[in-house]
Structure 1
Amino acid sequence: MFEKVLIANRGEIALRVLRACRELGVQTVAVHSTADATAMHVRLADESVCIGPPSATDSYLNIPAIVAACEITGADAVHPGYGFLSENARFAKILEEHDIAFIGPSAEHISVMGDKIEAKLTAKKLGIPVVPGSDGGVSGFDEARRVAKEIGYPVLIKAAAGGGGRGMKVALSEDEIDTALSTAQTEAKVNFGDDAVYIERYLGTPRHIEVQVFGDGKGNAVYLGERDCSLQRRHQKVWEEALSPALNAAQRKEIGETCSKAMAEMKYSGAGTVEFLYEDGEFFFIEMNTRLQVEHPVTEAITGLDLVQEQLRVASGATLGFRQEDIHFSGHAIECRINAENAETFAPSPGRVIGVHQPGGLGVRVDSGIYAGYSIPPYYDSLIGKLIVHGRDRNECLMRLRRALGEYVIEGIETTIPLFQRLLGETDIIDGEYDIHWLEKFLAR
């Protein structure tokens, strides 16, 4: 096991990693920008190093500063959390060159799955079902029209290096394909520095289902069930649950085994998530995230596993500590992402937290780094906490969530807590009948 882990992140995920390290007796180093000097993970870590000014580019994305922090403190491993440098193959490679362990998959796997065109081709080779579409990038109008005609309209044009809904355009007919292509290429270039795009069939009312996988890099891999992440706003997840109310046990086993077999063949190491669109009983691969997900706690709730501790063990060279037959799913779990935003306009609401009362009780977990007197900086993502509830079944889980939201108080800023209270009054949510467009339509009423 590692002696000292540097946590190259901030907020609730940095605190989450710190807690896992502490339970394993591993020392921690927090890095932070000047804006995060009083953050909870900085206050609780064994050591801390300031790596730059508030801008993420100059701090949390500053690779030389992070490597220097490792050398100064003697950290022998880095946990990247999610976001920032968590899926940066160059960062993983640089750490390797400095004899510092990257707590995640290999740079090669990060690189392959980070390019959506290459990821789709790889998934197809590994037997994972993919959305019908172009075999590679599409650049010219003539090629785009030909591919779209073969697939059948409507089609979706997507940035190869994209994410978060940027560089994505729908063409409902041939009349729209040229404009959609040029717009998607422009957005891709502006947001990702790469104008490569590809085309695939546009699914009308799919659900977003993702399979949690875990491997040890030695050919051992398992699946840990799926999460339903269909409630999204502007392609950003808002509410996640496990297991999905849309799948039965046979479907769960089939797609799970497909994914774990592929990971074993790749010799994938650590936590990963294979994401799908699911419609009319079929799964279609979207992408693979080669890191820990924001929503990993719902998987932990139904499996009883600490995924961060498993990441640490595997990255330190240990073989996977469990087999597929050791994995059992218990009950149901839901996570609500609590953002510092107005619940109706979604305008950011940074500022000083005057008071906090977090819910508790059986089956209730809150992952958050805020406290009374803490000032939420305006420079980063607005996620300030995650409310995770677990029940014996989905009905009990929903009742527990309603109770927990009623107890959750954050004073001094606006949050999205009222949004979730509204959602719990909707029949479609209670019945689990929603797709990836449901929330946008609900908010547009």
Structure 2
Amino acid sequence: MREKVFRDPVHNFIHVNDPLILELIDTREFQRLRRIKQLGVANTVFHTAEHSRFSHSLGVYEVARQIANHLERFPSQKLGDGGWKVAERQVLLAAALLHDLGHGPYSHTFESIFKTDHEKFTQDIILSKNTEVHQVLAKFDEQLPEKVASVIAKTYPNKQVVALISSQIDADRMDYLLRDAYYSGATYGTFDLARIIHLMRPVEDGIAFEQKGMATVEDYIVSRYQMYEQVYFHPVARGIEVILTHLLKRSIELFQEQKQQHLKIEHFVTPDLKPLFEYNVSIEQYLDLDDASILENINLWRHSSDKVLAELSMRFLDRKPLKSIEIRPETRQYLAKLRPLIEDAGFNIKYYTAENDSFDTAYDLYHPTAKHAKTQIEMLQPDGSLAELSTQSPLVQALTGRSYGNARYFFPAEMLMEQTTGDLMAPVYQEFQRYVHNGALTEIENEILD
């Protein structure tokens, strides 16, 4: 096959010389990822962060391709020697390309509201005989759909392949750090990808890194930490996410009310969203969903007769984020004083306030002692033994177990606006601002890059 090359701002070129990969790229299911943003609502803060899960997935494939080329220098010679099995290349590359296939629009907010699981949908899409992805995989190897799905499920018997797709330092994370840094305009996520790949060595239970390159791995860990602090957990983006969460919850409430009253609900949500609101969505229906599906409905709800839904929709579409303050153990008690003031100002605290804990997301810093610890990063010693990274690096040891992100209390921005003396509500706003600015709670976030 003649090689096909995709231009890419992160990897310069993405090379495809495998007929299987090219056919998978052309499937309906993979092309859908063009219509789903990689960073959800982050573009409301970082205005160039418009990249898609399609471009990220291609990038993960390219990183995996480079890794596979490198690991072929260390082939397995006999059973149990820990070498790389060249025959695993096809499974690795297909899993890298398809790992995000099941993401829905505004992925993490979407999952929390509609109780979906993108990894489960990824597996179901791959295993369903009705999907183009399944048919392409099965055409090349009848067992390939099951193999690729098991890599996503982390049950594939070859732990090296699983680690390269899902571990503390894998093809997925390496691409999204570089890609998100590039498109957000941040410089925190940069690290030496080529050097990290060069340091990789296959071992019996996964992948290790040569001890001599520990500084490069440290750089990756620090870059990841900084990206979560500065980009992924940005308080303004979280304020927009809270609005999206509340407006979707309100829309579901109204949908259920209309359904119970036997009203015509087809006018409330578009047909593609109706199965989702009924929590009974098939794979085929799920594949009809993308960012445009949600935006189309929010545009409709902007003109809803329900004032809460209409107002929240306006705030989301016109970028009117909720403001926030950090919640610390010693200041949490003051929230009880803020809530009635917000209600007195005319806001329903159910829809216009929220406690948002960034620790409760899918992201976490490398922490080998955590309850749900992921695969450890192992450093290959000169004598052939393995040592966990934090035991070798004082820098990583300092970061291990250190919390990042924070808990925040979100509320309408109007609560911080100056009020005229003639406004009867002025005392309410003044008292609220007194609590916020006089040290009862930490100061309002500084909206750098906003």
TM-score by length of structure 1 reads 0.26
More helix by share: 2
What is the TM-score with the length of structure 2 in the denominator?
0.25
- Which one has the largest radius of gyration? 2
